[in-house]
Structure 1
Amino acid sequence: MQEVTSPPRLVFTDLDGSLLDHHDYDWEPARPWLNRLAAAGVPVIPVTSKTRAELLPLRRELGLEQTPFIAENGAIIGLPAAWQHARLDRDPANVDGLRVKALGVDIDFLTRRLRVIRERLQADFRCLPDMSIEEIVEATGLDAPRAELARAREGSIPLLWHDSEAKLDALQEMLINDNLTLTQGGRFWHVMGSADKGRAVNWLMARFAALRGVAPWSLGLGDGPNDVALLKATDAAVLIRGVHSHPVEIEHPSLYRTQTAGPRGWAEGMEHWLGKELS
């Protein structure tokens, strides 16, 4: 297989409902394409609402330890050694070689503000860090160890909304006044700072260009409303058929909508954009 070199390709992908099955988190249907991309030297970069703690073992499982990752919907970026600036990023005391950048706001600030807002609105919602392991397992389908990792938030707080649309609008308005954002995912709403998946993708593409001296061609894949910023940030995009009920509104000049969902849809989108090139 011939290595792709001109221009270099980058693949940015959502995980839950995209590369990973929405229900059981299986990714086997995507394995052949992950192998093809690895053989061609095309980095596959996870862009997810998952935490850094969740991503570290998942990166090993997927064979993506040498690529960066974007966690918590853009609040956290992880840089392996090859993506680090020698002067700005390298830390000799960091034994695993991974450098973490925080683009969002402090998690303690988010926690305090949500407590104040809940009291003022008398709103009914549950923040994931406050949920029991059993509740997280029920809401997500994760097993208990992975549910524990999902609670290790660094730059965003997912919440389950159990109140009216009017109060949800009021919540969003109060968050805007605090320069915070509310984004809808497949299962949760996500509260964070001004960072989002698209801004984090742009940050990584700029870093790639600065280190390599050439701008990459980028492909984005996602299935939910919180993936719109990701898809808009890339040169070509794949909107994977969702198994959720949330509408996804997006305009993109190079958008492919899949017929299949989850990792099968992911492979379908890869075939559409890179099938001939990586034959």
Structure 2
Amino acid sequence: MQKRPPLLVFSDLDGTLLDHDTYDWSAARPALQALSDCGAGVILASSKTAAEIGVLQADMGLGDWPAIVENGAGLLSAMSDNAGSSPYDEIRAVLDKLPDDLRAGFRGFGDMSVAEVQDITGLAAAAAAQAKDRRHSEPGLWTGDTTAHSRFLKTLAAHDIQGREGGRFLTLSFGKTKADQMAAVIAQYKPHRTIALGDAPNDIEMLETADIGIVVANPHRPPLPPLRGEAEGRIRRTIETGPRGWNTAMRGLLAELEIQTGTDNHG
């Protein structure tokens, strides 16, 4: 019988657990080790693909846990390289049927070469190719004006496709969010507590759903507005950025929760 973990940590990647510029996560290594030592699970939750996240899970030692991929459009099962069926082609087909003025304003990963994805992300060639290996969603850049942007999203919504702003890109999908997949993972593992960390608008539902949410500082984007539960201290903000902020916040929370739960019976 699967033992209930004391804690599940749901974490965004770019700008949160990964440095915005270098994609390095090593500053968070002490907190990741501490989480592993106490039997907590870390669920990566990102707009990245299953191919990309699988590599990061292996590097971080998180392969025993599932991951939320493509901004919540898919779920990568633990110890699996299969994230399920692929609605990606349908999204691309809808895009290509849009009026020319709307279609011209959006340049998705499917419109780009590997070299172009490298250029806008800073990824190496192999990683950029993995970023293009999509099954559930289409990230891209909007280059049109504000009025056309509203029409673009409204037209896609008529096809049940939603656009969500992340740390870098506008990502199109059939509407599932990180919080939707988070609920599925919680239902499976039944943790005693949950923590979520993120930095972007597409993390808000996840941050507000967790028992404790941590907004990780990211000077590369406007700060998130005040969130539900923040005034009561359920949602907190880091001063340090990226993986350094992640590490400081998580180590502080682990110490705090140890004090609060030291006499609890989690058997």
TM-score, with length taken from structure 1? 0.85
1:228 touches 1:250 (CA, 8 Å); kept in 2?
no
Counterpart-to-counterpart distance in 1, 2:151 and 2:219:
28
Q: 2:25 aligns with which of 27, 45, 68?
A: 27
Tell me the secondary structure at the aligned position of residue 276 of structure 1. Answer: helix
2:153 touches 2:163 (CA, 8 Å); kept in 1?
yes
Tell me the secondary structure at the aligned position of residue 247 of structure 2. Answer: helix
1:99-118 paired onto structure 2 within 5 Å: 100=82, 102=84, 106-117=87-98
Moved over 3 A (4+): 99-102, 276-279
| TM-fit CA distance, 1:238 | 0.2
Determine the structure 2 residue equivalent to 1:86: none
Aligned CA RMSD, in angstroms, stands at 2.0
TM-score, with length taken from structure 2? 0.88
Deviations 1:115-173 (A, max 9, x none): 12252635322111221112111100101110000000000000111110111111111
Tell me the secondary structure at the aligned position of residue 196 of structure 2. Answer: strand
Determine the structure 1 residue equivalent to 2:44: 46
Deviations 1:177-211 (A, max 9, x none): 111111001111000012011111011111223xx
Pair 1:147-2:145 in alignment = no
Instruction: Identify the range of structure 1 (41-50 vs 110-119) with the bigger mean alpha-carbon deviation.
Output: 110-119
Amino acid at match of 1:166: T
Pair 1:230-2:230 in alignment = no
Determine the structure 1 residue equivalent to 2:161: 180
| TM-fit CA distance, 1:225 | 1.2
Pair 1:71-2:77 in alignment = no
Counterpart-to-counterpart distance in 1, 2:83 and 2:118:
29
Instruction: Identify the range of structure 1 (5-14 vs 190-199) with the bigger mean alpha-carbon deviation.
Output: 5-14
Counterpart-to-counterpart distance in 1, 2:151 and 2:137:
19
Counterpart-to-counterpart distance in 1, 2:116 and 2:221:
22
Q: Which runs of 5+ in 1 are unaligned?
A: 81-96, 210-214
| TM-fit CA distance, 1:78 | 1.5
- Evaluate the alpha carbon distance shift between residue 54 and residue 118 of structure 1 in structure 2; reply closer, same or farther with a 3 A threshold: farther
1:17 touches 1:243 (CA, 8 Å); kept in 2?
no
Determine the structure 2 residue equivalent to 1:242: 218
Determine the structure 2 residue equivalent to 1:268: 248
Percent same amino acid among aligned pairs?
34
1:205 touches 1:216 (CA, 8 Å); kept in 2?
no
2:214 touches 2:249 (CA, 8 Å); kept in 1?
yes
Deviations 1:210-263 (A, max 9, x none): xxxxx5311000011111121122111000001322442352321011101100
Q: How many residues align?
A: 253
Counterpart-to-counterpart distance in 2, 1:241 and 1:32:
19
Counterpart-to-counterpart distance in 1, 2:179 and 2:225:
15
Counterpart-to-counterpart distance in 2, 1:145 and 1:33:
28
- Evaluate the alpha carbon distance shift between residue 216 and residue 177 of structure 1 in structure 2; reply closer, same or farther with a 3 A threshold: farther
Tell me the secondary structure at the aligned position of residue 49 of structure 1. Answer: coil
Determine the structure 1 residue equivalent to 2:80: 98
Deviations 1:6-60 (A, max 9, x none): 8721100001111110100111110000000000000011000100011111111
Deviations 1:65-87 (A, max 9, x none): 1111010011111222xxxxxxx
- Evaluate the alpha carbon distance shift between residue 193 and residue 68 of structure 1 in structure 2; reply closer, same or farther with a 3 A threshold: same
Determine the structure 2 residue equivalent to 1:12: 10
2:5 touches 2:189 (CA, 8 Å); kept in 1?
no
Determine the structure 2 residue equivalent to 1:137: 118
Q: Which runs of 5+ in 2 are unaligned?
A: 260-267
